[in-house]
Amino acid sequence: MNKRGFTLLEMIFVLSVISLVFLLTIPNIQKALQLLHNKGCEAQVTLVDGAILQYELTYLNPPTSIQELIDEGYLKESQSVCQDNRSIEVVDGQASAQ
């Protein structure tokens, strides 16, 4: 009798190879996600620096806090926090993520 199908040993081998591939790729995916979050926060800090510059051009002095930029309409409330939950503050006329 000729039965077609996979043996238990063949299935275990295939599942082991698939598991190994997943174990090798998961750390790389996590590193890429971390890099993405860092670059996103850097871009948001650059955006806040632009708002600070616009504020300075209008009022001829830098804002003392990010709340001033929000109150005057240069930023939205959601733009004061990065995606990784670090807050953006104004320090000596420059934006920085805390």
pLDDT digit string (tens) for 23-48?
Answer: 999 888 888 888 877 788 888 999 99
17 located within any domain = yes
Distance, CA of 88 to CA of 97 (rounded, Å): 4
Helix (H) or strand (E) segment spanning residue 34: helix 8-59
**What is the span of the domain harbouring residue 24?**
12-97
Cα dist from 41 to 3, 22, 38, 86, whole Å? 59, 29, 5, 8
61 located within any domain = yes
Give tens-digit pLDDT for 47-61.
999 999 999 999 999
2 located within any domain = no
5 located within any domain = no
81 or 1: whose pLDDT is higher? Answer: 81
Residue 7, exposed/middle/buried by CB under 10 A (0-12, 13-18, 19+)?
Answer: exposed
51 located within any domain = yes
Q: Which pLDDT does position 1 carry in this prediction?
A: 59
4 located within any domain = no
Give tens-digit pLDDT for 85-98.
889 999 988 998 88
90 located within any domain = yes
27 located within any domain = yes
Query: Which two tokens mark 65?
Result: 């806090």
Query: Which two tokens mark 20?
Result: 């190994």
How many separate domains does the chain show? 1
